[in-house]
Amino acid sequence: QSVLTQPPSASGTPGQRVTISCSGSSSNIGSNIVNWYQEVPGTAPKLLMYRNNQRPSGVPDRFSGSKSGTSASLAISGLQSEDEADYYCATWDDSLNGWVFGGGTKLTVL
Amino acid sequence: QLQLQESGPGLVKPSETLSLTCTVSGGSISSSSYYWGWIRQPPGKGLEWIGSMYYSGSTYYNPSLKSRVTISLDMSKNQVSLKLSSVTAADTAVYFCASGNWFDYWGQGTLVTVSS
C-alpha cells in the first residue's frame, strides 16, 4: 500500500491528452514538491518532472505537471507511442522523514 | 554527465547481508552538488525508497527498513555502498543507485534474489 495514490492504469490514442493523478496528504504533497518519473520496461526510471512543474533538459514540452493542495497531476498532450511506460510520482513525507513514491501508473497508447 | 553503475552479488541467502556498490563516474561523490540514494523495485511492483545520504554525511532511511540498512560513501573509490542485513525473500528486487536533488541520475539497476 503506497503512501501516494495513483491510478494503476491509463490509456489514450495517439495525439490525445492524458492526465495521471497522484493523491497524498498534508504531510507529503501538501507541504512538499512533487517529482515524476518515467520508467520504460527494462530500463531505469528517468526524471520527467521536478519541483511540481519543471521539465529537465530534453523532456518535451508535451509533458506538464501541476500541484494543488494534497494532489498532483502529470499531463501528456499529443500522446505518442513512445510515451507508453510506467509513471511514478514522488515527494518527501515530513511524518516519515523520507521519500515516498506512488504505486505507479501504467500508460498504454492504444 | 554523472554516470552510476551498481554491482554486487545477484544471489543472497536468507538471513545474510546484502551488499551493493554504486560506482560513480563523471563527478565526485564528495561534491556538494549531489546527494545519493538507493531505491528498489520488487519484480512486477513499484518503486520503494530505501535511503539517502547527503554530502554532509547526514543519512535518512525508510522507516520500514531503518533497522537493517546502512548507506555509506567511499571517497577514495568514488563509490556509494548499501548494506541490508537479515534479508528475506521480500527483499528480492532490482536495486537502483540514484543521485541528484530529485534523483536526476540513475544507475541501470541490479537484480538481487534472496534464496537458499
Segment B21-36, tens digit of pLDDT: 999 999 888 876 778 9
Residue B19 predicted with pLDDT over 90: yes
**Cα–Cα distance measured from residue B102 to residue B113, given in angstroms and rounded to the nearest whole number:** 28
Whole-number pLDDT of residue B32 = 64
CB contacts of A50 in chain B (<8 Å) are 101-102, 104
- Rounded Cα gap, residues A92 and A98, in angstroms: 6
Contact B107 A100 (CB under 8 A): no
Question: Which of B45, B47, B66 to substitute to test the interface with A, most A CBs within 10 Å?
Answer: B47
% chain B with pLDDT above 90: 82
CB pairs under 8 A between A and B: 56
**In chain B, which residues have their Cβ closer than 8 Å to the Cβ of A45?**
39, 47, 96, 103, 106
Task: Give yes or no for B103 touching A (CB within 8 A).
Answer: yes
- From the CA of B49, how many Å to the nearest CA of chain A? 6
Q: Burial level of B78, CB count in 10 A (0-12/13-18/19+)?
A: middle
- Give the pLDDT means over successive 10-residue stretches in chain A (110 positions): 94 97 98 98 95 97 98 98 97 96 97
The CA distance from A64 to A53, in Å, is 6
Would you say residue B105 has pLDDT above 90?
Answer: yes
The CA distance from B4 to A56, in Å, is 18
CB atoms within 10 A of CB A68: 9
> Which residues of chain A make contact with B109, given a CB cutoff of 8 A?
44
Q: What proportion of chain B, given as a percentage, has pLDDT over 70?
A: 98
Q: Give the pLDDT mean for B67-76.
A: 94
**C-beta of residue B18 within 8 angstroms of C-beta of residue B112:** yes
* Three cell numbers written together for A15: 495525439
Under 8 Å between Cβ of B80 and B34 = no
The confidence score (pLDDT) of residue A69 equals 97
Which pLDDT value is given to residue B31?
A: 78
Measure CB to CB from residue A44 to each of B51, B100, B109 and give the nearest one: B109
